[in-house]
Amino acid sequence: MTLQDQRVVVLGGTSGIGLATAQLAAGQGASVVVASSNSSSVRRALASLPRPATGQVVDLTDSRAVTAFFASLEPFDHLVFTAGEALTLLDVGAMDLARARQAFELRYFGALGAVSAAVPRLRPGGSVVLTTGAAGDRPGPGWSVAASICGAMDSLVRALAVELAPLRVNAVKPGVVRTPLWQDALDYGETADRLPVRRVGEPEDIAAAYVYLMNQPYATGSIVSVDGGHVLV
């Protein structure tokens, strides 16, 4: 199956995993819309995507802006949410609750708000693909907030799959990926040596899972892990 003649909206689709997903979907014949809060990032993304791709600047933590964004779109087939910010690693012994709440604002509440606003525009037979993370299954010290977000996303996917049926709702669970969001948090070489695949992920590795879930008509409530074996070691 391919995404030929389908419309795909990728929130956070201007860099990293999101951009790789938009590029792969466009390569399968989809018409892609990308959105980000950074105008220069939107321009760079559009330069790498084929026509008729379009892009908009949207603050995904602003519910009014998100509602207006979806109201401006024609009906579409798939929503992908990959938006995120630099990882929030916080020591429980010196917890900054304001930062912890802020970390949930985009990754969890941003995703939930986007789905709520997008549902009226999603065509029958369409899907939503959200993003969780391997930290929820195998956290380390300092990962209490990040792991909690992942756990919340896992539960959200299953609940939405039931509530929004027959619309399909799934998620991708990446491990360590070579993107700007990870570069200051981990040593890629050290991490790669510990993984069974002996390398960290590339955005294209993870993008393939999002496109698979868009194309798979019998998958809903599913969370596809693409983590290089992170949970095994």
pLDDT tens for 180-210 read 776 666 788 888 999 999 999 999 999 999 9
Q: Report the predicted TM-score, pTM, of the whole model to 2 decimal places.
A: 0.95
CA distance 131 to 87: 14
Q: What domains lie within the chain, and their CATH numbers? A: 7-232 (3.40.50.720)
Q: How many CB atoms lie within 10 A of CB 160?
A: 24
pLDDT digits (tens, 9 = 90+) for 50-67: 999 999 999 999 999 999
Lookup result for tokens 């999002």: 210
Question: In this model, does residue 87 exceed pLDDT 80?
Answer: no
Q: Which pLDDT value is given to residue 184?
A: 67
Per-residue model confidence (pLDDT) at position 185: 66
- Average the pLDDT over 32-42 and give the result: 96
Using a CB cutoff of 8 Å and minimum separation of 24, what contacts does 108-113 make? 108/149, 108/152, 108/153, 108/156, 109/61, 110/11, 110/60, 110/61, 110/66, 110/81, 110/83, 111/81, 111/83, 111/153, 111/156, 112/156, 113/60, 113/63, 113/66
Out of 20-34, 81-95, 155-169, which region has the weakest mean confidence (pLDDT)?
Answer: 81-95
Position 26 scores a pLDDT of 98
Measured CA to CA in angstroms, residue 80 lies from 112, 170, 187, 220 at distances of: 12, 10, 28, 14
Cis peptide bond N-terminal to 166, omega within 30: yes
pLDDT for position 91:
87
Average pLDDT rounded to a whole number, residues 22-46: 97
**What is the rounded average pLDDT for all residues in the chain?**
94
Q: Is the pLDDT of residue 5 over 90?
A: yes
H/E run at residue 225: strand 223-226
Digit-coded pLDDT (tens) for 124-158? 999 999 999 998 898 889 889 999 999 999 999 99
